[in-house]
Amino acid sequence: MPDETKKTRTSAGKNNADIAGDRKASAAKGRRLRQRPKGKIGEVWIVIECEGDVAAGVSWELLGVARSLAADLGSRPAAVILGIDDQCQELARQSFEHGAAAAYVADHPALVPFITEPHCQTLAALARKHSPEIILLGATTRGRDLASAVATEMETGLTADCTALEIDPESLLLRQTRPAFGGNIMATIITPGHRPQMATVRPGVFPLPETVAGATGEVIVSKPRLAAQQPVRQLEFIPNPEEEVALQGANVVVSGGRGMRQLKNFAMLEELARELGGVVGASRGAVDAGWVSQRRQVGQTGQTVRPALYIAVGISGAIQHLAGMQHSDMILAINSDPTAPIFDIADYGIVGDLFEVVPALITEVKKRKAAAAKSGGAAAKGGSEAAASSEKAAGAETATAGSEKTATATKNGDSETVTTS
Ligand code: FAD
């Protein structure tokens, strides 16, 4: 919701002229309230999403971004932790290690477990008191919920699902970039008239920052004024088993597209993923066909992943799919069409029939794992690094072995430029 969208709110029982007048007055009041003395730039805040003293990875990713935004503003990055005492202190410590210079800790029993209303009241009160320039949250279920509530409360703009954030060197405004019009254009949105500038970012869009063990910072503790009994209470928490699909943290993701033709063919992707210690993802083509749950969808309207190795099988490489996987460390594409756009972004490409290439890959990976286990050394390595490199080698060799009939392997000559674009 950029600045302008707040104008779409309605007031019951008033005609349009009244509403327009109210809005003008309210906007002017909002601007007055949030006008900052010239030269004083507020902080860049990251709201730390947590369960107990464990933070969501996206919060740390955002602290990395906050550090560079704050440096460009001549300000400082700060973590905001809403919870109860011991857990907050531990999270403050971790925040400093991930780059925060300060931590605003709001400590109240009504803040655990997460309920939108007390979190919204507390965050808005903190923001009114300390006037941050920018507030960023993860575009998770909880982050989206809280961000929109706080932006409404503060009457400010909010840009959801940003894929890039930077400070405009002239205006010092936050440039918030996100896909628009079905992913066909990238829109850059600014919030010129209201503060704080707010945005959400999906997990995996930015890398985790380097941590500095033992780093410290300023802790600002507050006791929010909240009723002990909130009108909304959590009676029970029932985890959704589908959420166990840990696409975002996976080191290896093997995704299938419409080229898989039917549900039962995903069994071979499951096997390849299992051999590589990874998980199965999918394009929207495969999800729409009903072969795979939406929770496994990678892309603009699915999840953003950043694994060590991403294998795209029978996926054409539509821009909306690339939006969710283009920052993977290494991309291997398997497609029978040599002109498929997925090859433009892949580090390694195998042009061939996936029904021949994937079984050959599985055989080769198994063979290499058995050989490594026999020799002892590499078996201990395990994990993604071993998986990624054995896959890389297996991919290349498989393609050579079967090149005449089924496949040709290509190493993208400009892989660095392509994968980071
Ligand atoms: P196709 O484009 O049909 O590609 C199938 C590929 O399989 C082809 O390249 C073909 O050459 C190859 N193939 C076929 N048979 C074989 C074989 N035997 N061996 C090897 N290769 C074979 N898409 C997403 O993925 N994620 C999103 O989040 C997403 N969000 C969207 C949001 C919006 C607003 C819109 C408009 C679209 C979105 N899409 C998304 C859809 C996207 O535009 C594409 O339609 C979709 O990604 C296509 O899926 P696909 O690559 O599996 O299918």
For residue 407, the model assigns a pLDDT of 42
Assess whether pLDDT exceeds 70 at residue 344: yes
Q: For residue 73, what are its two tokens?
A: 């503003």
Answer yes or no: are the C-beta atoms of 84 and 111 closer than 8 Å: yes
Asked whether the beta carbons of 203 and 57 are under 8 A apart, the reply is yes
Average pLDDT of 123-142?
Answer: 96
Place of tokens 């995704």: 255
> In 3-state terms, the chain is what percent helix, strand and coil (to 5)?
40, 20, 40
Ligand 1 geometric centre to CA of 285 (Å): 5
Q: Is 251 in the pocket of ligand 1 (CB under 6 A)?
A: no
C-beta of residue 152 within 8 angstroms of C-beta of residue 5: no
Structure tokens at 399: 């393609």
Q: How far is the CA of 403 from the centre of ligand 1 (A)?
A: 25
Q: Is the CB of 302 under 6 A from ligand 1?
A: yes
Confidence band for 242, pLDDT divided at 50, 70 and 90: low
Atom of ligand 1 nearest to the CA of 256: 52
- Please work out whether the CB of residue 337 comes within 6 Å of at least one atom of ligand 1: yes
Burial class from Cβ neighbours inside 10 Å (0-12, 13-18, 19+) for residue 28 reads exposed
- Mutation choice for ligand 1 from 311, 316, 355, 361, CB with most ligand atoms inside 8 A: 316
pTM of the model: 0.68
The whole-angstrom separation of Cα 70 and Cα 133 is: 9
Question: Between β-strands 309-313 and 252-256, what pairing exists: parallel, antiparallel or unpaired?
Answer: parallel
d(CA 104, CA 126): 8
Residue length of the chain: 421
pLDDT in tens, 182-231: 777 889 999 999 999 999 998 888 989 999 999 999 999 999 999 878 88
C-alpha pair distances (Å), 247 with each of 235, 250, 302: 29, 5, 11
Q: Is the CB of 265 under 6 A from ligand 1?
A: no
pLDDT one-digit tens code per residue, 208-217: 999 999 999 9
Q: Find out whether the beta carbon of 179 lies less than 6 Å from any atom of ligand 1.
A: no
SS3 169: coil
Q: Check if the beta carbon of residue 155 is closer than 8 Å to that of residue 194.
A: yes
Mean of pLDDT values over 45-73: 95
Distances (CA, A) of 38 to 35, 41, 167, 194: 9, 8, 18, 15
What six digits make up the tokens of 317? 């490489």
Determine which residue's CA is closest to atom 45 belonging to ligand 1.
Answer: 285
Encode pLDDT of 276-325 as tens digits: 999 999 999 999 999 998 889 999 888 899 999 999 999 999 999 999 99
Domains of the chain: 3-7+36-222 (3.40.50.620), 245-420 (3.40.50.1220)
- pLDDT, residue 126, reads 98
Residue 392 CA, ligand 1 centroid: distance in Å = 23
User: Which atom in ligand 1 lies closest to the alpha carbon of residue 285?
Assistant: 49
